[in-house]
């Protein structure tokens, strides 16, 4: 029965995504290749003082990305520290330095890790001027970087990979804003709240009183899912009835998280002039997604341990209005798209189900991954796959006519090295430095032992992959975790961007090798399988021993 429901929901989702794949993908391709600027954009270019016709080299594109993001971090940090001076602060005090640091980085890096309860920490001004703005621009930065890489692959002997400011503004104005407005209206119709009301005191079923704020939830919810941000208005995120009111809204939210990442392969295919390439990338992403969501659902439906047997199902931490299948669908989507929103508590999933949430992130957020980040992530892995496979067919490996030489493989390797190193080093330092370990054991971990280890591992996995979801049993609002996770998010976002843009530049500078019968085709099922295998093997090899200490040790006891 549950499996039938699962199949029906997946089918609906697949149908919706299939319907928008071509129109949205083609539209985005037009947005990023059109020579015309709209009037609003021209005004913005004048305000910022950039020339939209200026074609940037990869290094100057990178400098623009970094400068823009640095300003973002400083602004969000300042807004939080000055919260009491701002309107609509709901009389909430300024968060601590380390929390503000963590939150600022978290939103600028499209992670939306929240070490705090948003509704009792941040006022509406910080939420809207700081966080909501970053929800838009951080998503636009992700897409811009992906487009820059695609341009590099598509161009011939060019010195330029586009103009960051044009890509940024067009992404916000032509894609994210219009989609968010439509989406917000649909969400309001579905029961998500949208107001500026303060706290409302209500009497709960058990007779206690609870103070629940209203707020501009629907507008933030729209970009939270569309931009694969994930930072909720409420602490319990989409599990809150104001944020995730019911079943069909959940499916809609899942659709929103997937819609841009799954349409970007089309954009990629369009810009490189071969739609089959887009379908191949899409097929690899979709296969991994399907395997993953099936695995997590199977783990949760099977349950585990005496508690779930007594309860009849593994419902701990899940909302009864969603049930198991909608929780795993949302949970998988959120962790595999780098969104990090939740409508159930992953910490309470069965060990193997929670392990799958971690595995989804450890795959490198490529199936389909975050907006933009998923596409550039899978393209980098495709480069590695092409390199090994290309050697196996007896040619200097090439991808879309671009040779994969020493420089390209160096950059791709560095990209692949970054995230596992951050995850493993962050987790190891947390347990390896005696004072830190004392702090973690004393303050942060509420479930000592293997599960507590999983919580910390989950936190660093989430931060390094810019996901933002959490095993909520961990108290992360401590100086160590706020700082360490902040640094992890920062490096986990911008080091890969450096490598991707450098790759874009080195591809752009190359001529194109014509395809012959001796060229490895990258649009056939064979290559899809190869890509899938490379994604799985690269992450499995990096994380298997660590997973054995956490979810596997717990799940196989």
Partner 1 sequence: MSTTTRELDAASPARAQHAGQPTGAFSPRQLLAGLPGAVRKLDPRTMWRNPVMFVVEIGAALTTIIAISELVSGPAESAGEPLPASFSWAIAAWLWITVIFANLAESVAEGRGKAQAQSLRQTRTSTMASVVDGYDPAADPSAERTAVRSVASSELTLGDIVTVSAGELIPGDGDIVWGIASVDESAITGESAPVVRESGGDRSAVTGGTRVLSDRIVMAITSKPGETFVDRMIRLVEGAARQKTPNELALNILLASLSIIFLVVVLTLNPMAGYAGDTVSIPVLVALLVCLIPTTIGALLSAIGIAGMDRLVQRNVLAMSGRAVEAAGDVTTLLLDKTGTITYGNRRATEFVTVGTVPQHELVAAARLASLSDPTPEGKSIVDLAEDQGHREGIDGTAVVVPFTAQTRMSGIDGAAGVQIRKGAASAVLAWVAAAGGISPAAAAQTESVANGIAKDGGTPLVVARRERDGSARVLGVVHLKDIVKEGLAERFADLRAMGIRTVMITGDNPYTAAAIAREAGVDDYLAEATPEDKLELIRTEQQGGNLVAMTGDGTNDAPALAQADVGVAMNTGTSAAKEAGNMVDLDSDPTKLIDIVRIGKQLLITRGSLTTFSIANDVAKYFAIIPAMFAGVFPGLAALNIMGLHSPASAILSAIVFNAVIIVFLIPLALRGVAYRAANASSILSRNLLVYGLGGILVPFAGIKLIDLVVTLIPGF
Given candidates 5, 16, 158, 429, which one binds partner 1 under the rule CB under 8 A? 429
Distance from the Cα of residue 167 to its chain's centroid: 19
Q: Residues 363-402: x/- map of binding to partner 1 (CB under 8 A)?
A: ---------------------x--xxxxxxxxxxx---x-
Residue 81 makes contact with partner 1 by CB under 8 A: no
For strands 398-399 and 209-213, give the pairing: unpaired
Q: 318 pairs with which residues across the strands?
A: 344
Binding part of the chain for partner 1, among 117-125, 328-336, 363-371, 511-519 by CB under 8 A, reads 511-519
Three-state secondary structure call for residue 212: strand
Find the shortest distance in angstroms from Cβ 545 to partner 1: 6
Residue 420 makes contact with partner 1 by CB under 8 A: yes
Binding part of the chain for partner 1, among 38-46, 119-127, 290-298, 412-420 by CB under 8 A, reads 412-420
Q: Residues 517-546: x/- map of binding to partner 1 (CB under 8 A)?
A: xxxxx--x-x---x--x---x--xxx-xxx
Given candidates 450, 475, 479, 483, which one binds partner 1 under the rule CB under 8 A? 450
Would you say 187 or 476 has its CB closer to partner 1? 476
Region 319-348 residues binding partner 1, contact defined as CB under 8 A: none
Three-state secondary structure call for residue 198: coil
Residue 318 has which token pair? Answer: 């899940």
List the beta strands (DSSP E) in 99-245.
199-203, 209-213
Residue 301 has which token pair? Answer: 């439906």
Please give the Cα distance from 420 to 538 (Å, whole number): 10
Would you say 60 or 519 has its CB closer to partner 1? 519
Residue 495 has which token pair? Answer: 């080091």
Please give the Cα distance from 557 to 555 (Å, whole number): 6
Would you say 56 or 522 has its CB closer to partner 1? 522
Residue 135 has which token pair? Answer: 């929800």
Would you say 51 or 441 has its CB closer to partner 1? 441
Please give the Cα distance from 481 to 441 (Å, whole number): 12
Find the shortest distance in angstroms from Cβ 396 to partner 1: 5
Residue 421 makes contact with partner 1 by CB under 8 A: yes
Find the shortest distance in angstroms from Cβ 66 to partner 1: 24
Residue 218 has which token pair? Answer: 């629907």
Residue 132 has which token pair? Answer: 């909501």
Residue 487 makes contact with partner 1 by CB under 8 A: no
For strands 402-403 and 209-213, give the pairing: unpaired
Residue 415 has which token pair? Answer: 């990209």
Region 241-270 residues binding partner 1, contact defined as CB under 8 A: none
Residues 6+ apart with CB under 8 A from 332: 289, 292, 293, 296, 297, 356, 357, 360
Residue 22 makes contact with partner 1 by CB under 8 A: no
Would you say 222 or 416 has its CB closer to partner 1? 416
Cβ atoms of 143 and 264 within 8 Å: the answer is: yes
Residues forming contacts to partner 1 in the complex (CB under 8 A) are 384, 387-397, 401, 404-406, 408-410, 413-414, 416-417, 420-421, 424-425, 427-429, 431-432, 437, 441, 449-450, 452-453, 457, 511-514, 516-521, 524, 526, 530, 533, 537, 540-542, 544-546, 548-550, 552-553, 555-557
């Amino acid at each position: 029965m549950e499996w039938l429901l699962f199949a029906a929901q997946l089918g609906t989702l697949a149908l919706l995504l299939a319907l928008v794949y071509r129109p949205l993908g083609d539209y985005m391709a037009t947005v990023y290749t059109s020579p015309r600027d709209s009037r609003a954009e021209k005004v913005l270019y004048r305000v910022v003082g950039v020339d939209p016709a200026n074609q940037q080299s990869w290094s100057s594109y990178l400098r623009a990305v970094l400068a823009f993001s640095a300003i973002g971090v400083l602004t969000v940090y300042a807004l939080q520290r000055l919260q009491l001076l701002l309107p609509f602060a709901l009389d909430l005090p300024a968060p601590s330095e380390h929390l503000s640091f963590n939150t600022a980085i978290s939103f600028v890096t499209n992670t939306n890790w929240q070490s705090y309860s948003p509704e009792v920490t941040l006022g509406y001004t910080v939420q809207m001027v700081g966080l909501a703005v970053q929800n838009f621009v951080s998503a636009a930065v992700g897409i811009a970087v992906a487009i820059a890489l695609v341009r590099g692959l598509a161009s011939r002997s060019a010195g330029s990979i586009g103009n960051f400011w044009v890509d940024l503004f067009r992404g916000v104005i032509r894609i994210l804003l219009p989609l968010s407005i439509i989406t917000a209206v649909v969400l309001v119709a579905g029961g998500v709240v949208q107001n500026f009301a303060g706290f409302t005191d209500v009497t709960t079923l058990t007779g206690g009183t609870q103070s629940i704020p209203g707020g501009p939830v629907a507008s933030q919810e729209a970009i939270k899912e569309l931009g694969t941000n994930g930072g909720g208005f409420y602490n319990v995120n989409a599990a809150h009835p104001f944020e995730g009111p019911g079943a069909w809204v959940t499916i809609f939210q899942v659709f929103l998280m997937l819609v841009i990442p799954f349409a970007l392969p089309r954009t990629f295919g369009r810009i490189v002039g071969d739609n089959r390439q887009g379908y191949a990338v899409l097929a690899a992403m979709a296969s991994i997604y399907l395997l993953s969501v099936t695995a997590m659902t199977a783990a949760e439906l099977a349950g585990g341990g005496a508690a779930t047997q007594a309860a009849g199902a593994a419902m701990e931490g899940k909302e009864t209005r969603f049930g198991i299948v909608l929780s795993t669908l949302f949970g998988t989507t959120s962790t595999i798209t780098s969104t990090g929103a939740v409508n159930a508590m992953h910490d309470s999933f069965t060990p193997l189900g929670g392990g799958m949430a971690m595995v989804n992130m450890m795959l490198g957020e490529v199936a389909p991954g975050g907006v933009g980040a998923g596409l550039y992530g899978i393209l980098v892995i495709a480069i590695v796959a092409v390199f090994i496979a290309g050697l196996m067919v007896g040619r200097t490996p090439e991808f879309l006519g671009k040779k994969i030489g020493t420089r390209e493989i160096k950059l791709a390797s560095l990209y692949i090295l970054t995230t596992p190193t951050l995850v493993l080093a962050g987790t190891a330092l947390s347990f390896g430095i005696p004072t830190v370990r004392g702090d973690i054991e004393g303050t942060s971990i509420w479930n000592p032992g293997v599960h507590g280890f999983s919580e910390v591992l989950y936190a660093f996995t989430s931060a390094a992959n810019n996901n933002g979801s959490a095993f909520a049993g961990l108290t992360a609002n401590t100086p160590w975790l706020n700082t360490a996770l902040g640094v992890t998010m920062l490096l986990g976002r911008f080091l890969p961007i450096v490598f991707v843009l450098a790759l874009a530049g080195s591809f752009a500078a190359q001529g194109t090798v014509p395809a012959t019968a001796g060229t490895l085709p990258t649009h056939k099922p064979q290559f899809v399988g190869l890509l899938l295998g490379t994604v799985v093997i690269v992450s499995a090899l990096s994380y298997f021993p660590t997973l054995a200490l956490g979810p596997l040790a717990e799940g196989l006891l």
